[in-house]
Structure 1
Amino acid sequence: MRKYCGTPRETIPFTVMDFFVDIYAKLFFKKRRRNTDILSPKRILIASLGHLGDALTVTYMFPLIKKRYPEVKIDLLAPKWCEAVNLHNPYLGRTIYINHYQTNRRKISRWEKIKDHFRTFREALPLLKQESYDYYIDIRYSDAVAHFVLPFIKVGKAYGFARRGLGGLLDKEFDVPVNEFHHFDMYFMLLHEIGIKGTLADVEPYFPVSPGTTIEKIKQKITLPKGSYLMVFPESGGEHKQLSPAFWASVLTEILEKTGYYILLCGQTGVSKQIWDLINIPTFNRVIDTSGKINIHEIALLSQKATFALTLDSFPEHLCCIFCKTISVYKGTGYPFFPLANFPVYLIHNHQPSVGLPFGRDNVTLLYKEEVETSETKELIVNRINEIIIHE
């Protein structure tokens, strides 16, 4: 029996829908003609209709796939808001866009999101129909699965999760473990079906910065610091994961008072302005507000020159730890999203189920605190910063 993800208001419709989907799949869809080349696949479709963090970490799969199948073409099914992450990826053939209404964070009505979903779906179908795919792999296990495209395209074998319905269309449908798991372990579970094995230690994070991104162009948007700097990202896609502006202001005030570092305050909303207004010391002019002024590729370039980044559980954390040392504070989240980093990460979290779990990356230092928005956490952050500065 399938285990759906969601409230009864969501899961009951899934059960009813899947009753009919399973009948259709059994009588028609699974009897389709297939031209799968299992030993040497020619083209694979990866679906990831989530947010920026998913868009980044799913790209870490691509080198693993190409290492096993050097000649394979990889197409990606993704939402338009993730375009900047995928635009310059050297492993991708085509990126086809569908804006799933469940992961659309635009400030529009649900009805407008649904219309946008179907509009982008109609635009994507002709592109999807142009190719014959040996494999379809959907990495989403919580919401926004893309299995609804399967009846309309030519595909050999399809793998994914059935927790949000339409599992009957998959050749093998997966569920998530009962215990805590890392999201990339779920990717490996799917990759295993196409002959690719690995562990978290095998993952090599990367992000191709646009060739047109330069420091000179960034200078036209913001005032660059005159000395060493750190980057601060006080926002997260989920508001429940954010810390208060007052806490951030107290942390930044202490950093300004105890170090000579400049601070690049990064974000997309008014949170940075709230923090800025709370910093009332003579050295506040070392805070440079970049919110809404620089793009993802410019953030990546600046992080390469930063001493370190201070973040939450968010896309900027996963991006910055590719290029620099990172200090992260996780509020309400834990092991499933621990970062895959190239540089050392010092991570403070309050996720009790994650305590004691082995994490297969030796450059991430984990520290559990029952409460994270405290003076003790602030002291831990500042002490860690001092350690980083000493070793610079």
Structure 2
Amino acid sequence: MKILIIQKKHLGDILVSTVIFPLLQKQYPDAEITFLLNEKHHQILIGNPFVNHVIFWDKDKLLSLFLNVRKQKYDIVIDLYAKVDSGFLMFFSCAGKRITYFKKYTQLFCNFPIERSKIVRCKNTTLSIEHRLQTLEPLKITFEETFPKLYVLPEELQNSHQILSNLGLSTDNKLIMISTFGSKEVKTYPLKYMAKILDYISDLQENIKLLCNYLPFQKELFLQLYEMVSVKTKEAIVKNFDTQNLREFIAITSVCDCLIGNEGGATNISKSLDIPTFTIFAPGVNLTDWAWTDKPKLDKFLHVNDFVENSTDYLDFKPDFMKKSLEGFLNNVFELTKFKTNV
């Protein structure tokens, strides 16, 4: 049994797509699973025991890709990307079962179009996960509450400890990863508000260290944010913290006590590592789509509409609204950490 899964891009989408791997393996124990995506995102799959092969979408080598996919003679192709180009590839594969989401044009490429549900079956999984699980229905695989999972290699974990040591830190510190910015401006909590959130964190917990994650093009924004916070918060922020690539970020996050900040790739990574996560949702992102968790009593998700009904303005989402929730979240996190340490 050979299975090809297509999800070309978007870190969060690729990560959430991993929920179907264990269920496919359970249904087809001898299956050989191949994942097709853009090369720059492949690090998200490193160490995943369910993926046998990874192939890359290269727009400059499409003929070679199409011919290779046809040559592999896949039994099943599941196109989670559901665009015209991936649809053509799925059709060209000649796989016996070609599954994708129902759209007007996808019916031309597949023999199992899936109507995406608009109703959440399980609050903890949310639609982002459940839509992926729906693609397994033509394979007679029944719904199970399943969550994305990331894997950290032993050498990566060792390297993360060395990075912390070089920064004068260790896992004995209270380490909080900050998802400082969203992937774009509309998904980024206003800078002056985020400064207040960081001040709250440093006031609520003693002896913490804040690891502020940001992309290279966001460094100037980080420096602006740094100048907005209190002196105490400046002392808590590890200003020279940086990661060289996605795998380093994953490994270091895996040894943090929690992650707090903007919804996006970082928060999905944190949850996939079983790290407690406090997520600030942008007005345009629905909780029913991305507030998935396997720790509903610990993870926290807040949206402006929790406080200001029907608001679409991030400026309505005042930092004070979050203070009580932040306090409860941090108390729970460090009580849990204390318990683990004592055990």
**TM-score range with shorter-chain normalisation?**
0.7 to 0.9
TM-score by length of 1: 0.72
Which of residues 217, 221, 228 in structure 2 aligns to 1:278?
Answer: 228
Cα distance in 2, alignment partners of residues 140 and 312 from structure 1:
24
Shift in Å, 1:255? 1.9
Shift in Å, 1:310? 0.4
Residues 49, 144 of structure 1: 8 Å contact kept: no
Q: Could you list the runs of 5+ residues in structure 2 that have no partner in the other structure?
A: 121-125, 309-315, 339-343
Residues 303, 323 of structure 1: 8 Å contact kept: no
1:180-234: CA deviations, max 9, x gaps?
A: 66122111221011121113x2x14321113431235424875535721111112
Shift in Å, 1:301? 2.7
Residue 187 of structure 2 is aligned to residue 241 of structure 1: yes
Cα distance in 2, alignment partners of residues 74 and 342 from structure 1:
28
Residue 112 of structure 2 is aligned to residue 172 of structure 1: yes
Residue 326 of structure 2 is aligned to residue 381 of structure 1: yes
Residues 318, 340 of structure 1: 8 Å contact kept: no
Instruction: Say which SS state the counterpart of residue 24 (structure 2) adopts.
Output: helix
1:153-202: CA deviations, max 9, x gaps?
A: 23112111243734311102233335566122111221011121113x2x
Which residue in 2 is equivalent to 1:341? 294
TM-score by length of 2: 0.82
Greater relative contact order, per chain length (Cα 8 Å cut-off, separation 6+): 2
Residues 251, 382 of structure 1: 8 Å contact kept: no
Which residue in 2 is equivalent to 1:305? 255
Instruction: Pick closer, same or farther for the CA change 1:43–1:323 going to 2, 3 Å.
Output: same
Residue 92 of structure 2 is aligned to residue 152 of structure 1: yes
Which of residues 155, 167, 174 in structure 2 aligns to 1:212?
Answer: 155
Instruction: Pick closer, same or farther for the CA change 1:249–1:197 going to 2, 3 Å.
Output: same
Shift in Å, 1:252? 0.8
Instruction: Pick closer, same or farther for the CA change 1:171–1:349 going to 2, 3 Å.
Output: same
The structure whose Rg is larger is: 1
Which residue in 2 is equivalent to 1:54? 13
Cα distance in 2, alignment partners of residues 374 and 74 from structure 1:
45
Instruction: Say which SS state the counterpart of residue 95 (structure 2) adopts.
Output: strand
Q: Which amino acid aligns with 2:211?
A: L
Residues 331, 350 of structure 1: 8 Å contact kept: yes
Residue 39 of structure 2 is aligned to residue 86 of structure 1: no
Which residue in 2 is equivalent to 1:325? 276
Cα distance in 2, alignment partners of residues 92 and 383 from structure 1:
38
Instruction: Say which SS state the counterpart of residue 81 (structure 1) adopts.
Output: helix
Stretch deviating more after TM superposition (231-240 or 51-60):
231-240
Cα distance in 1, alignment partners of residues 241 and 184 from structure 2:
18
Q: Which amino acid aligns with 1:249?
A: A
Cα distance in 2, alignment partners of residues 197 and 386 from structure 1:
38
Shift in Å, 1:388? 3.2
Cα distance in 1, alignment partners of residues 61 and 154 from structure 2:
28
Q: Which amino acid aligns with 2:209?
A: Y
Instruction: Say which SS state the counterpart of residue 133 (structure 1) adopts.
Output: coil
Shift in Å, 1:144? 7.2
Which of residues 59, 69, 90 in structure 2 aligns to 1:128?
Answer: 69
Cα distance in 1, alignment partners of residues 62 and 188 from structure 2:
33
Residues 230, 307 of structure 1: 8 Å contact kept: yes
Residues 138, 145 of structure 1: 8 Å contact kept: no
Cα distance in 1, alignment partners of residues 242 and 252 from structure 2:
15
Q: Which amino acid aligns with 1:250?
A: K
Percent of matched pairs sharing the same residue: 16
Cα distance in 2, alignment partners of residues 127 and 222 from structure 1:
46
Residue 31 of structure 2 is aligned to residue 72 of structure 1: yes
Instruction: Say which SS state the counterpart of residue 160 (structure 1) adopts.
Output: strand
Residues 267, 279 of structure 2: 8 Å contact kept: yes
Residues 235, 312 of structure 1: 8 Å contact kept: yes
Cα RMSD (Å): 2.6
Q: Could you list the runs of 5+ residues in structure 1 that have no partner in the other structure?
A: 1-41, 99-116, 352-367
Stretch deviating more after TM superposition (292-301 or 327-336):
292-301
Q: Which amino acid aligns with 2:137?
A: H
Residues 97, 120 of structure 1: 8 Å contact kept: no
Which residue in 2 is equivalent to 1:191? 136
Cα distance in 2, alignment partners of residues 95 and 164 from structure 1:
29
Instruction: Pick closer, same or farther for the CA change 1:61–1:69 going to 2, 3 Å.
Output: same
Instruction: Say which SS state the counterpart of residue 340 (structure 1) adopts.
Output: coil
